[in-house]
Amino acid sequence: MYMKVRIGCHVSIAGSLAAAIPRALKRECSTFQIFTRNPRGWQYKDIAEEDSAAFREAVAASGMNPVVAHMPYLPNLASPRDEVYDKSVTTLCAELERCHHLGIPYLVTHLGSTLGTPAEEGRERVVRALGAALNTHATEVTILLENTAGSKNTIGNRFDEIGSILDETGENNRLGICFDTCHAFAAGYDLRTSASVDAVMEECDDTVGSERIHLVHLNDAKADLGSGRDRHEHLGEGMIGPEGLAAVLRHRALHHLPFICETPVDDRRDDLGNIRYAVSLAEGTTGTGPL
Active-site residue set: 40, 70, 73, 110, 146, 180, 183, 217, 230, 232, 262
Q: b/e map of 236-265 (b: 16 or more CB within 10 Å)? A: bbbbbbbbbbbbbbbbebbbebbbbbbbbe
**DSSP strands (E only) in the chain:** 6-10, 31-34, 67-70, 106-109, 142-146, 175-180, 213-217, 220-221, 232-233, 258-261
Angle at 47 between CA 42 and CA 48, to 5 degrees: 145
Secondary structure class of 11 (helix, strand, coil): coil
Mapping DSSP onto H, E and C, the string for 222-275 reads CCCCCCCCCCEECCCCCCCHHHHHHHHHHCCCCCCCEEEECCCCCCCCCHHHHH
The number of beta carbons lying within 10 Å of the beta carbon of residue 286 is 18
Q: How far apart are CA 70 and CA 155, in angstroms?
A: 17
Cβ-contact 25, 64 below 8 angstroms = yes
Q: What is the largest CA-CA distance in the chain?
A: 53
Q: Which residues contact 36 (CB under 8 A, 6 or more apart)?
A: 13, 17, 47, 69, 95, 98, 99, 102, 104
